[in-house]
Amino acid sequence: MGSQLFRTKSIDKLISDADEPERRLRKTLGVWSLAALGIGAIIGTGIFILTGTAAAGETAAESSILKAPLTSVLMSLFNGTPLNFAGRPGAGPAIALSFFMVAVACGFAALCYAELASMIPIAGSAYTYTYATLGELVAWIIGWDLILEYAVSNMAVAVGFSAYINDLLAGFGLHFPEALANPAYTPDGGWKLHFNLVGFVIVMFLTVLLVRGIKESARANTFMVGVKLTAILVFVFVASKYIHPTNWHPFMPNGWQGVMTGGAIVFFTYIGFDSVSTAAEECKNPKRDLPLGILISLIVCTILYVSVAVVLTGIQPYTIFRGDAAPVATALHNIGLERLRRWVTIGALTGMISSLLVFQLGQARVWFAMSRDRLLPPAFARVHPKFRTPATATWIAGFFVGIPSGIFDIGTLADLSNIGTLFAFLLVSLAVLILRRTQADRPRSFRVPGVWFVAPMSVACCLVLMMGLPVENWIRFIVWLIIGLLFYFSYGIRRSSTGQESGAAERNRMMVTADKALLGICTLLVLISIVVTIALLRGNLMPDTQVVIYAVVLAVVGLGFGSAGVVRYLKDSRAV
């Protein structure tokens, strides 16, 4: 069972599958198109929204251990440090240091991505790399994780785009009807008969563009990247004249904990360079251009991010940005640069569009790769006969992101996207080390310098940043992975193309063991739900709405999949 769960797919087999005529994608991208895709994905909402939050910190609406960073919980357990229930401390002006530290961590991971991308130029990014090195089960987990990363981050970007459009129109005296400008649900207002039309429309418009072709999408993205880079550079050079060095004191008001938690927040702004590798099959020369595209995009964005952080905290005291979703615009308004403020708003909108474009591109190609391996239904692997794009996966991804963007206010889920991405980076770094041992002689057009230092440092940096995220995001992430395992043991493992190569007797035994694993997970979910319920009833746990919701969801999911698992086990056990 263990060897079957961790069966790998050879790199040669991955490449040959990608070259099948009915599943072949059109190769049109060069190094600068790839770098533009990376910059387009990286510079999105984060630099315009999260910089102020990371500098000033966050205050939770209600005190709960779920809101505390995991580092605070562990420090409280081991050395008695008072537990921070009220949110996360800000980095202050040291947010520039947070950006630089996160860039170093991402740089380690980017080098690992670059080596694997040059070895395995196949759509799917971290999913494909782990399938070739760590095995099918880990590949499924990381693929499921990437679905979370791309979907949640794009939902948040679409909601942010709608808010910026409404703000821009208000400057001209125009207003969308409230029912079409706001989501149906917000934490403060509850449910209303609303639909965020702008968020939905922008996602569907980009879906049409992506279906028509990668070359057209790349051209549009390159133009948008130019606009937002110009906006950022204008802000840095013009606003730098208004810097007051006194605003940089104290530089680290909350010490290293503030710098670390600030880094965990702004990590969202770096998500995207890994999406360059999802376009591997559409590169003219992937072994040369993919590593260059990844590294160029990361270096350019790091320079811009640190520059913006230094200028922003220099022109205004960092404390005014607490709870501000538009810190750059606020700072420019306060110093009287209204014309520049409008230009930055246009740059922010352009940045969001290009970020949406690249993440939708990446999400569809991860689904495409998983479907080609038969871990997802075959519809996701269909290629448009004319445009040679994964059309079905692209349309489904469009509705999968667009509809929730119109219904929910989920901009607060950036942390959930962070933890998923960091987990992917961690596994990619491990994959590089494994391939250096198992396939040391395979040609690599790019090799990580000092790999036995760089890859372990990448793993360590990812773990440190993950520890700075709130407890509730760890819980949500673990629940998402458990749901993914339920789908794998009930669907993916049964249809896997790699598994079909085994004999009939071996497959039957594998199905019975998969049924047992499914029933074991379901039993665990139900038991956890029962224990939490008893603890709530006895008063051992403080009443918390979120805890109750988690308990109910676990029970429903466990009973639902468990019932189906019993039926399958009875059927499969008779076939052995």
Q: How far does the chain reach from its first CA to its final CA, in angstroms?
A: 14
Q: Tell me phi and psi for residue 90, to 5 degrees.
A: -85, 160
192-206 confidence digits (pLDDT tens): 788 888 889 888 988
φ and ψ of 87, to 5 deg:
130, -150
Bigger pLDDT: 110 vs 546: 110
Mean pLDDT of 316-341: 80
Residue 124 — pLDDT band, cuts 50, 70, 90? low
In this model, does residue 518 exceed pLDDT 80? yes
Q: DSSP string covering 458-524, please? A: HHHHHHHHHHTSBHHHHHHHHHHHHHHHHHIIIIIHHH-TTGGGS-HHHHHHHHHHHHHHHHHHHHH
Tell me, what's the pLDDT at 281? Answer: 64
> Residue 57's beta-bridge partner residues?
89
pLDDT > 90: percent of the chain: 6
Task: Report pTM.
Answer: 0.78
Instruction: Tell me the residue type at 345.
Output: T
Please tell me the distance from the alpha carbon of residue 236 to that of residue 451, in angstroms, as a whole number. 36
| Residue of 149, 568, 137, 116 whose CA lies nearest to 373 | 137
Q: CA-to-CA distance for 15 and 492, rounded, in angstroms?
A: 21
Q: Closest Cα to residue 126, out of 364, 380, 431, 481?
A: 431
411 — pLDDT class (breaks 50, 70, 90): very low
Q: With beta carbons less than 8 A apart as the criterion, state whether 524 and 481 touch.
A: no
Please tell me the CATH code under which domain 2-469 is placed: 1.20.1740.10
Residue 414 has pLDDT above 70, yes or no: no
pLDDT tier at 120 (50, 70, 90 boundaries)?
confident
pLDDT digits (tens, 9 = 90+) for 45-99: 667 777 777 888 766 555 566 666 677 677 766 766 665 555 667 788 998 999 8
pLDDT at 519: 92
Smallest Cα–Cα separation from 369: which of 211, 140, 110?
Answer: 140
**Mean pLDDT computed over 379-408:** 83
Mean predicted confidence (pLDDT) in 260-270? 80
- Whether the predicted pLDDT of 118 surpasses 70: yes
**Across residues 236-254, what is the average pLDDT?**
89
The per-residue pLDDT of the chain, averaged, comes to: 79
Q: What is the 3-state secondary structure (H, E, C) of 289-332?
A: HHHHHHHHHHHHHHHHHHHHHHHHHHHCCHHHHCCCCCHHHHHH
Residues 153-198 pLDDT 10s: 788 778 777 777 876 777 677 777 877 777 776 655 667 788 888 8
Which residues are bridge partners to 185 per DSSP? 191, 408
130: its two tokens: 């782990």
